[in-house]
Amino acid sequence: MKIVITGATKGIGRAIAEVFAKAGFDLAVCSRKTADLQALQEELEAKYDIKVLHKATDVSKKEEVLAFAEYIQSHWTQVDILMNNAGVFLPGEIHTEEDGKLESQIETNLYSAYHLSRALMPLMLPHKTGHIFNMCSVASLKAYPGGGSYSISKFALLGFSKVLREEMKTHGIRVTAIMPGATWSASWAAMKDQLPENRLMKAEDVADAIFGAYKLSDQTVLEELILRPQLGDL
């Protein structure tokens, strides 16, 4: 079994890599830093009897996303799971945020998933099986102060997930939109001393929920998965 994970070296992506490696999946992973990818490969291959492919990739750049897909296709003939996880959060307000903030978040949060999903379809469609997960957000469901262009990009990613779900129904490929609330990751590191540990979710909980969605039978798809801290959104 084989899984592709973008943004795999930190936060939720790192937790997803651990869960699926433990289950025996070979991984193809990307992030922007080669050193982080090499460290991930060494750790997971040492702990589990798996193989890890990796390629440094800036997913905001279409040509690098397509190069990552070509790299995968040069090694694998089938992909069982695509986890479009990479994303960026740049808070702001539409009327005051700096020019270009919308474009940068759309390119990272939406276009990367669109281009990689399309590029890897030849490794799923002929086999009539597969599962695509898109890392949306509770910001895909409700606008909130300071969301700005980030919320726009996540609303768009949920829309992409809905369209892809409809298109893949008859091809045996499941599509799931993941919508987590605040989760401990590098993005929240600056707040670690200001928030109690139980105020945010664990990245491992999100990863376990994704694995559970994947483990459902082929005749069932969890279309949307919403997770929030027990005490609610921040």
Give the tens place of pLDDT for each residue, 142-201: 988 889 999 999 999 999 999 999 999 999 999 999 999 988 776 666 666 777 778 899
Strand partners for 56: 31
Lowest mean pLDDT among 13-27, 60-74, 86-100, 155-169: 86-100
Is residue 63 packed enough to be buried (19+ CB in 10 Å), middle (13-18) or exposed (0-12)?
Answer: exposed
* The amino acid at 222: L
**Cα 126 from Cα 132, distance rounded (Å):** 15
- CA pair distance 232, 234, nearest whole angstrom: 7
Residue found by looking up tokens 């009327």 in the block: 95
Percentage of the chain with pLDDT > 70?
A: 97
Residue 66 clears pLDDT 90, i.e. is over it: yes
CB 72 within 8 A of CB 28: yes
What is the pLDDT, as a whole number, of residue 65?
98
Beta-strand ranges (E) seen in the chain are 2-6, 26-31, 52-56, 81-84, 130-135, 173-180, 224-227
CA-based torsion, 90, 213, 203, 181: positive or negative: positive
Question: Can you give the pLDDT at residue 53?
Answer: 98
Sequence letter at residue 163: V
pLDDT at 190: 61
CA distance 108 to 135: 12
Range name among 50-54, 62-66, 96-100, 115-119 with the lowest pLDDT average: 96-100
Which domains are seen in the chain, by residue range? 2-227 (3.40.50.720)
User: Is the pLDDT reported for residue 47 higher than 70?
Assistant: yes
Q: Is residue 203 scored above 70 in pLDDT? A: yes
Res 140: pLDDT = 95
With cut-offs at 50, 70 and 90, classify the pLDDT of residue 131.
very high
Decide which of 226 and 145 is more confident: 226
Q: What is the pLDDT of residue 189?
A: 62
Q: How many residues are given for the chain?
A: 234
Contact in structure between 108 and 59 (CB atoms under 8 Å)? yes
Percent of the chain's residues with pLDDT above 90: 87
Q: What is the mean pLDDT of residues 56-74?
A: 98
Each residue of 111-122: pLDDT tens digit?
A: 999 999 999 999
Residue type, 34: T
